[in-house]
Amino acid sequence: MNTAEIIDVIEKLETRLNSYWNFYSIAIIAISGWLLSLNKPSEFPIESAVILSIGFLLFIIMNASVLLPLTKRIYALEKVLIMTVAETTTLVPELKTILSKPLINNRYIGTIVMYFLLAIAMLVFIAYKAYVLNVSG
């Protein structure tokens, strides 16, 4: 593969990755908005909180099962791009410098941390809302 082909594949994977992040973000925003709109215990019994938590856990597992390997694949292709650029003599020096580094440093670890921090925050928010409406309220 030449430099242009590798960049094209990376861009396609980035688009796919962004779709999974968008899907995840929309789910979190939608659930949060719905939870914020609830004001009475009858609107969110404990059983509903348990069901919502289980459903959200299944969702994050399924989404992560694609998002995390996809992130690894992009990282691997970026390594191939860096090796290919190092061997290329036809690139402008400025472009060669830019393409000789990963787009996002520590991307895989950052993805894991961000993904699961958001997931934990959402689960805590679900539990908190159920507690406030049903136990303390």
Q: Residues 9, 77: contact at Cβ < 8 Å?
A: yes
Q: How far apart are CA 31 and CA 45, in angstroms?
A: 15
Nearest to 21 by CA among 104, 114, 121: 114
Domain span at residue 81?
3-136
Banded pLDDT at 97 (limits 50, 70, 90): confident
All residues at 6 or more sequence positions from 51 whose CB lies less than 8 Å from its CB, including other chains: none
Number of domains observed in the structure of the chain: 1
What's the confidence (pLDDT) of residue 104? 87
pLDDT, tens digit, 9 for 90 and up, residues 31-86: 999 999 999 989 999 999 999 999 999 999 999 999 999 999 999 999 999 999 99
Q: What is the pTM of this model?
A: 0.86
pLDDT number for residue 89 = 81
2-29: per-residue pLDDT in tens? 899 999 999 999 999 999 999 999 999 9
